[in-house]
Amino acid sequence: MHKLLILIAFISVVGNYAKAQEDSTNNQLEIFECYDRYSLKNQWAEVIELVSIISKEEPIDMTKLMEATGDYPFGYVKQENMKLFDSLMNLSEVKNLLPSNLKFYWSLKSEDRYWGKNYYSVHAIRLSEQGTGVFNASYIQKAEAGYSKVNETNIVTITMTQEGTKLWTKITTDNLGKALAIILNDKVFSAPKVYSAITDSHTEISGSFTKSEAEEYATIINTAIILNTKNKSILNN
């Protein structure tokens, strides 16, 4: 069985899955395309300028509010500043400067090991015309945690349905060199960057996560599959 890899910077989910279930209203797993920071360079410069103008009594410097590096994710924000960031992004004046199908999503947990205490990554998600993602749990049969001897890393293997394999091939082909955000309950669990088109029904997700994290991730996906199946059954009846 030929397996191709999506290399990702994994956002740890250990200890957060139970909470995600408690906070969940729909337990939907979706995969979205992402905007990279450079494609929005001009618009974001206008946002920075606008925020500095409308907050002139107590000037807000967006370059300090959000640490921006690389192309994905869009940036990193301290936990204490997340509500402020959200409130600014929800201003109609700011929304008018950005694409209408852009929505910001936060990582599930802070990325302390990369950015220091209480830094969360924020992702610029591209919504479809229906406001949904490009892929969901209905296209996945199962997920299994494992270990790759070749790459000496923990992995999660996702087995797609026949329809899902065809769709995944198209999505990964269309997004070569770009990130795809895996979102559950409105939180980003990981943001894979696609390095090759994936035509196999089995996809390996690898990154900087432990064995327990891989098992937790597989559980999250399998739970979403079960809930999706139950929801379909209810609708059909």
Retrieve residue 86's tokens: 């959200």
pLDDT digits (tens, 9 = 90+) for 77-107: 999 999 999 999 999 999 999 999 999 999 9
Half-sphere exposure of 216 (CA within 13 A, CB side): 19
Distance of alpha carbon 156 from alpha carbon 214, whole angstroms: 6
Q: Which amino acid is at 202?
A: H
Q: Buried b vs exposed e over 200-223: b needs ≥16 C-beta within 10 Å?
A: ebbbbbbbebeeebbbbbbebbbb
Is the peptide bond preceding residue 99 cis, with omega within 30 degrees of 0?
no
User: CA–CA distance from 128 to each of 102, 135, 167 (Å)?
Assistant: 9, 11, 15
- 42 Cβ contact partners less than 8 Å away, ≥ 6 residues apart: none
Q: What is the mean pLDDT of residues 15-32?
A: 54
**Taking all residues of the chain, what is their mean pLDDT, rounded to a whole number?**
83
Distance of alpha carbon 161 from alpha carbon 237, whole angstroms: 23
Q: How many angstroms from the chain centroid is the CA of residue 34?
A: 8
Three-class DSSP labels, 90-145 = CCHHHHCCCCCCEEEEEECCCCHHHHCCCEEEEEEEECCCCCCCCEEHHHEEEEEE
Question: How does residue 7 score in pLDDT terms, banded at 50, 70 and 90?
Answer: very low
- Number of residues written out for the chain: 237
Q: What is the mean pLDDT of residues 206-232?
A: 80
pLDDT digits (tens, 9 = 90+) for 52-77: 999 878 889 999 999 888 889 999 99
Summary count for the chain: helices (H), strands (E) = 8, 11
Q: Which domains are present in the chain?
A: 4-34+133-236 (3.30.1360.200), 38-126 (no CATH)
Q: % helix / strand / coil in the chain, to the nearest 5?
A: 40, 30, 35
pLDDT (0 to 100) of residue 225: 87
Distance of alpha carbon 163 from alpha carbon 138, whole angstroms: 10
DSSP state of 13: -
pTM for the predicted model, two decimal places = 0.80
Distance of alpha carbon 26 from alpha carbon 155, whole angstroms: 26
